Chain A
């Protein structure tokens, strides 16, 4: 019982880890707080579920979902780079619009996928657990992303998030790079949404709520735990962070917390992590005070 629950937690960590990789691209590499994610995640679920419920191939539905996610990212990028709307607001606008779009695509608020042919059931038919599927997709995404970040284009993307003036002086159009990053990121997010829908057996218009914050939590937790340099490690950290985050959620539930409190807990977790430096300086001040009392000089 506990064992299967743990496997389920691991599977969630892996499948949501694909989404966290997407959040990593915008939040860490592009330095862009992208809220599109809360809309592109259910978009992926909606597209895949609609295709599958209508008898389409689950593989095709999943690919189409990723493509739709890319378009959502491009929409946010367009608002930000061409219409000069702030990044945060661009994401919120796309996310809000996507709520209606997702309902249009699905035609109703919820599409059940029980007894439908999905990628998860295809693996199940061959005696393979869902985590095999998720590991394959996640590893593919990670390896491709790592390799991409070492190409010229990957350099340009990273530099755009670091110093726009510098990379423009090198002849790179930073608008294009932002579009590229947002497209890739939301493609991954929607891919994750498509797989989650097939894994849980339904797509729901509300399934995106809190996705960004969960993604951020994974990125931040991972970075706190895995402290090796180099790009390959950065994406590994995101995956570790996602699994640890889902495990923490699982533990919180086992301790008797209500599932409805989880979003609050996640938000507090992210707040604590983001305010880490401020806490450290507060602690240092307190520490200095104590040392003055004991008379031991502070370094």
Chain B
């Protein structure tokens, strides 16, 4: 479903030194894979998702989505394949527009907007049904501006928007990290329900090592711009967080450094 080969991304530092964020990354994602990605701070996890989504150009390498080479396609062209949820709940929705308007734009992801009505009554009915599944009472607030919603509600809405027109690839970048523990739990559950229930292909960055092993079917560990570990079932099913940390030490010779992971 997604294949990247020899991906390299270098950011220019202020002092003229390049920072290698992705260092010859190869990855093959099968249809239906739900992959969790962990790694130390600055490992290049977000950069990988951003490069796949087209937010940054690559310096080298190729990206294929569903067999199609998208390496030089701009972000908005690739968006027809990709649903995204960001860490910051503010990024995924337009605050001044209503819930139904946001959903309507997401529903037509990848289609050139035209002069037909932005939201139809049929769509409203569908939105109401889908929102009811979130169990947040949003189904009665279609005409409310999204800016009135809480962070958790906005993130749930973003998740719904990212998946309302089935994406070939769902990219989740620490999408529960900015939420309080209880809300994070709910959004996590919702993610599992949506991705698992509809057999979506997804990449999810998390700093919670426990979650990394519990969610999905495959786990990647990144460090210094490289994928250093790619664990699949059945091996993954037997792994514990301690095993993960040990693996990291064995591979890198240093301790796994993610302040948030250690706190979690």
Known contacts A151-B118, A155-B104; is A170 also within 8 Å of B91 by CB?
Answer: no
Is the Cβ of B113 less than 8 Å from the Cβ of A153?
yes
Is the Cβ of A170 less than 8 Å from the Cβ of B95?
no
- Using a CB-CB cutoff of 8 Å, which residues 145-188 of chain A contact chain B? 148, 150-156, 158-159, 162-163, 165-174
Residues on A with C-beta less than 8 A from B106 are 170
Instruction: Summarize B's interface: helix, strand, loop or mixed.
Output: loop
CB distance from B127 to the nearest CB of A (A): 14
Q: How many A-B residue pairs have CB under 8 A?
A: 90
A165: contacting residue among B74, B91, B97, B117, CB under 8 A:
B91
Residues on B with C-beta less than 8 A from A148 are 115
Residue B109, interface by CB 8 Å: yes
How far apart sit A166 and B111, CA to CA, in the bound complex (Å)?
A: 15
Most chain B beta-carbon contacts within 10 A, residue among A148, A151, A155, A174 = A155
Residue B93, interface by CB 8 Å: yes
Known contacts A152-B108, A159-B105; is A167 also within 8 Å of B94 by CB?
Answer: yes
Is the Cβ of B80 less than 8 Å from the Cβ of A163?
no
- Using a CB-CB cutoff of 8 Å, which residues 77-122 of chain B contact chain A? 77, 79-80, 82-84, 86, 90-97, 101-102, 104-106, 108-111, 113-118
A159: contacting residue among B76, B84, B94, B109, CB under 8 A:
B94
Is the Cβ of A168 less than 8 Å from the Cβ of B93?
no
- For chain B, give the interface size range: 35 or more
How far apart sit A246 and B88, CA to CA, in the bound complex (Å)?
A: 44
Most chain B beta-carbon contacts within 10 A, residue among A150, A152, A153, A171 = A171
Is the Cβ of A163 less than 8 Å from the Cβ of B74?
no
Is the Cβ of A168 less than 8 Å from the Cβ of B97?
no
How far apart sit A162 and B92, CA to CA, in the bound complex (Å)?
A: 11
CB distance from A162 to the nearest CB of B (A): 4
Residue of B nearest to A173 (CB): B76
Interface string of A28-43 (1 = CB under 8 A from B): 0000000000000000
Is the Cβ of A152 less than 8 Å from the Cβ of B79?
no
Residues on A with C-beta less than 8 A from B76 are 168, 171-174
Residue of B nearest to A148 (CB): B115
A155: contacting residue among B109, B118, B162, CB under 8 A:
B118
CB distance from B134 to the nearest CB of A (A): 19
Is the Cβ of B108 less than 8 Å from the Cβ of A151?
no
B115: contacting residue among A153, A159, A163, A166, CB under 8 A:
A153
Residues on A with C-beta less than 8 A from B118 are 150-152, 154-155
Residue B75, interface by CB 8 Å: yes
How far apart sit A86 and B21, CA to CA, in the bound complex (Å)?
A: 28
Residues on B with C-beta less than 8 A from A169 are 53, 75, 79, 82-84, 92, 109, 162
Interface string of B44-82 (1 = CB under 8 A from A): 000000000100000000000000000000111101101
Is the Cβ of A171 less than 8 Å from the Cβ of B93?
no
Residue of A nearest to B78 (CB): A171
Is the Cβ of B115 less than 8 Å from the Cβ of A155?
no
Residue of B nearest to A149 (CB): B118
Is the Cβ of B114 less than 8 Å from the Cβ of A162?
no
Is the Cβ of B117 less than 8 Å from the Cβ of A171?
no
How far apart sit A176 and B118, CA to CA, in the bound complex (Å)?
A: 18
Residues on A with C-beta less than 8 A from B91 are 163, 165-166
CB distance from A39 to the nearest CB of B (A): 29
Is the Cβ of B113 less than 8 Å from the Cβ of A155?
yes
A171: contacting residue among B77, B94, B114, B162, CB under 8 A:
B77
Is the Cβ of B116 less than 8 Å from the Cβ of A171?
no
CB distance from B89 to the nearest CB of A (A): 11
Is the Cβ of A151 less than 8 Å from the Cβ of B117?
yes
How far apart sit A55 and B102, CA to CA, in the bound complex (Å)?
A: 50
How far apart sit A174 and B55, CA to CA, in the bound complex (Å)?
A: 13
How far apart sit A151 and B115, CA to CA, in the bound complex (Å)?
A: 5
Most chain A beta-carbon contacts within 10 A, residue among B84, B86, B105 = B105
- Return 7 A-B CB contacts under 8 Å, by A number: A153-B113, A155-B97, A156-B113, A159-B94, A170-B161, A171-B109, A171-B110
Beyond A153-B114, A163-B93, A165-B86, 5 extra complex contacts between A and B, CB < 8 Å:
A151-B117, A168-B76, A169-B162, A170-B110, A172-B76
Q: Which residues of A contact B (CB under 8 A)?
A: 148, 150-156, 158-159, 162-163, 165-174
